[in-house]
A and B are shown apart, each in its own frame.
Chain A
Amino acid sequence: MSHSTVTGPPPVRPTRTPRTPYLLVGPALVLVAVFLVYPVGNVIYSAFQQQNVLTPWDDGFVGLANFRQILDDPVFWKSLAFTGKWVVTEVSLQLVFGVALALIVNEQFRGRGLARAMVFAPWAVAGILTTTIWMLIFNPTTGITRYLADMGVVDYGTSLLSSSTGAFWAAVIAEMWKGIPFFAIMILADLQSVPGELYEAAHVDGAGRARRFWSITLPHIKNGLVVATLLRAIWEFNNVDLLLTLTGGGPAGSTTTLPLYVAQTALKTKEFGYGSALTVVAFAILTVACVVYMKLTKMGEDQS
């Protein structure tokens, strides 16, 4: 207990046994190397090939042709732009509501345990089930609009999913349902570790609720926010399941993200080579974005 503060990140003990950290991360590294490096290499290899099981006679090395095709592909640019819109909307909404939710359920009130269990529950629901349930809700005959129409609020035979704007928000809502709990849980874990005496001290100093949030809570959960935001952004970028099953990228292609375009290209139209090239491009974009993000937020560096 002698030379360490209570709250700050612990000082790193330098080079006691330099091998230890490598031994500790070893198994993870081996797993990733075996189950990831080879598959990724495979995708990169395919990106330079024409590969389509429907036309095997045309398969072969094509050099950069796939990448040149990407530059001229209007769907690529359109889906890339939509991906940006999707990720930014989704992550910022989840961030705001997630932090708010975490703050609320961090308060003390009766039935808090039950309330937490309920509001966090969607996080645990399988992706395939999430979309199924929301499809039932957005369905014009089994869903909410039908009951609203019975009450005369909307016309019969309408659905959020059948207009571009509507489909976008329908997907955003369904994804938020699952994503907000994720954020809230991560933030709540951080909130728990804010030492109570800091609040007590601030309270004695006469700091208001807002002041306390900005000067105590926020700095304390900042690291957690940075990590959670990054993970969520990556996840939303790559998340194909929801859009694929809920909107199918439509109507008229208006909700197609880049990874969804990849899935459609590789799985449905069987253009595996082109799909791989799109994956490589998506991978590069994501990597650059992450490195920039990590630099900007100084994530992964030991700061005190």
Chain B
Amino acid sequence: MSAITAPAPAPAVAPADPQRPRARRRRVVWRIHGPLSLYMLFTLLPFYWMVMFAFRERGSSSLLPKPFTTENLKYVWVNGNFSQFFLNSMIVAVLAVVVSTIIAVMCGYALSRYSFRGKNAFQLLMLSTQFIPGAMMLIPLFKIFQGMGLMNSLWALVIADTVFHLPLSMLLMAGFIKNIPISLEEAAWVDGCSRFAGFRRVIFPLLVPGMVAVGAYAFIGAWNNFLFAVMFINEQSKFTVPVGLSYMLGEFGVDYGSLAAGGLIAVLPVILLFAYVQKYLVTGLSAGAVKG
């Protein structure tokens, strides 16, 4: 991709180059804006389709949300109980973020800073958690939660989501920590810090972007989980947004407007979160942090 405009001398982080501005702009369009716009079209089309259905009156076949209506949204939020589902999803997602981030940092640190017996086996074990389709584990998982008295508790969702997303969170975190030079920590140890204090004072601040990334991953996973939410919760007032969404589909009727409106509610928080979080990915573990 980049090869096409090979002679262009501007590297990612280099200062602006002194070439004639018009030629340069044309190359930037070729290299960045052209492919990006095409990809953007692909990305945004489904979102547009959803928005169109959500704000379009039933029966219309216009390609624009015309005649415009907010009835679908109101109906879903009030009658469809989405306000309650929304709150539940938020609780589960926030708790999952806290639990998985803490565990991921612990594992990530162990994996990136120590070599210990069984490390590879541990990694493989964690990976293998992803090997089994969630549906096959429902009944045994159900029995465990029942035995622990966690049935019908949002904690069951938090735990199940954490377990299933831990391997990736852990590997991501290990990668983040690996990229922080150990010399920074060593300097702290030389200053008399304990290993933990060294971590707290040196690694932790540099790890915030990593934790935001892992946290966002946990949030999205928990926010979107359907299977566990529908299986482990037996109370309408504790169901989550994806369960609410699945209510909109039925053999005796499909209301595309409500479905799309429900989808919009499901998608907005994660999109907004994402728009915010990606800033952290930008500052991420960029050159500045590594240079210390």
- A residues in contact (CB < 8 Å) with B: 1-7, 9-14, 16-18, 20-22, 24-25, 27-29, 31-32, 34-36, 38-40, 42-43, 97, 100-101, 103-109, 112-130, 132-134, 136-137, 142, 146-147, 177, 185-186, 188-197, 199-200, 202-203, 208-210, 212-213, 223-224, 227, 230-231, 234-235, 238, 240-241, 259, 262-263, 266-267, 275-276, 279, 282-283, 286-287, 290-291, 294, 300-302
Contact = CB atoms under 8 A, between A and B. Distances in A.
A1 B183 contact: yes
B132 A196 contact: no
B23 interface: no
Nearest to A214: B3
Contacts of A104: 1, 31-32, 35-36, 39
B163 interface: yes
A136 B49 contact: yes
B197 interface: no
B175 A224 contact: yes
Contacts of A290: 124, 127-128, 131
A197 B140 CA distance: 54
A115 B36 contact: yes
Given A28-B103, A209-B5, A266-B135, A21 B129 contact: no
Interface residues of B, number: 117
A85 to B, nearest CB: 19
Given A1-B292, A35-B160, 15 more contacts: A4-B182, A20-B195, A105-B36, A107-B32, A116-B281, A120-B274, A126-B267, A189-B172, A192-B285, A193-B284, A194-B12, A194-B287, A238-B132, A287-B131, A294-B124
Interface of B: 1-3, 5-9, 11-14, 28, 31-33, 35-36, 39-40, 42-47, 49-50, 53, 61, 63, 103, 106-107, 109-116, 119-120, 122-133, 135-137, 139-141, 144, 159-160, 162-163, 166-168, 170-172, 175-176, 178-184, 186-187, 195, 213, 220, 223-224, 226, 241-242, 245-246, 249, 256, 259-260, 263, 266-267, 270-271, 273-275, 278-279, 281-282, 284-287, 290-292
A158 B170 CA distance: 45
